[in-house]
A and B are shown apart, each in its own frame.
Chain A
């Protein structure tokens, strides 16, 4: 079963508008972390923002903010004042609670392609 769901394969947004990219996740752990990465057409994966399951406030990093709704198991990325350079693939990822192994796997969603229109 998909642990990370990103239901929007592609999205368009007008320059300077805000856009929300959806991410829902599935876990039975109480402690977990959520990450968003950006992948522009050049191909590199760029870390954007992190949200912990016990964090009381939604994470923010510049124009990026995370709308974290724990009960709904959603961690949507909000980009304010979109710029042309925001056109990229965006991946949501999750690390589940610490287990007695040497590594806690990070699971990635399939991604959402965002196109910013001038």
Chain B
């Protein structure tokens, strides 16, 4: 199993408060991602990082920010939590080098255990 941890694993917070979720990896993978999972939607990409201090938006980035100051850590911040951000959040990692130059499209994402966030 890929060495990916997420903290906290569960959190209950109130509307309007800031929340930070942490993803930590021990695999030295270049790419890191934050997804949210909601019933009927599968997983949707929030933000991703392709290197230290290199981040970009995914399809549902509004209300979220990220930071990556070290290879192993990727932080997701909800600036002012809303009830619509109640969800399960997954971190994932991948590295294009593992798939090889000839088959970059085979790059596989490996997921952390998830964080359940409830915004009241």
Report which A residues bind B (CB closer than 8 A): 4, 31-33, 35, 37, 43-47, 50, 52-53, 91, 93, 95, 97-98, 102-106, 108-111
Contacts and interface: CB of A to CB of B under 8 A. Distances in A.
B-side interface size class: 20 to 34
Given A47-B108, A98-B104, A4 B56 contact: no
Interface of B: 31, 40-45, 48, 50, 54, 56, 58-59, 88, 90, 92, 103-114
B50 A102 contact: yes
A45 B114 CA distance: 9
Given A45-B90, A47-B108, 9 more contacts: A33-B107, A44-B114, A47-B109, A50-B108, A53-B105, A91-B42, A103-B50, A105-B59, A108-B44
A91 B56 CA distance: 24
Q: Which of B31, B41, B88, B106 has the most CB of A within 10 A?
A: B106
Given A45-B90, A102-B56, A103-B50, A33 B106 contact: yes
Given A102-B50, A103-B50, A108-B43, A95 B114 contact: no
29 contacts: A31-B105, A32-B105, A33-B105, A35-B108, A35-B109, A37-B111, A43-B88, A43-B113, A43-B114, A45-B111, A46-B111, A47-B109, A47-B111, A50-B106, A52-B105, A53-B105, A91-B42, A91-B43, A102-B56, A103-B31, A103-B50, A103-B56, A104-B105, A105-B58, A105-B59, A106-B45, A106-B109, A108-B44, A109-B42
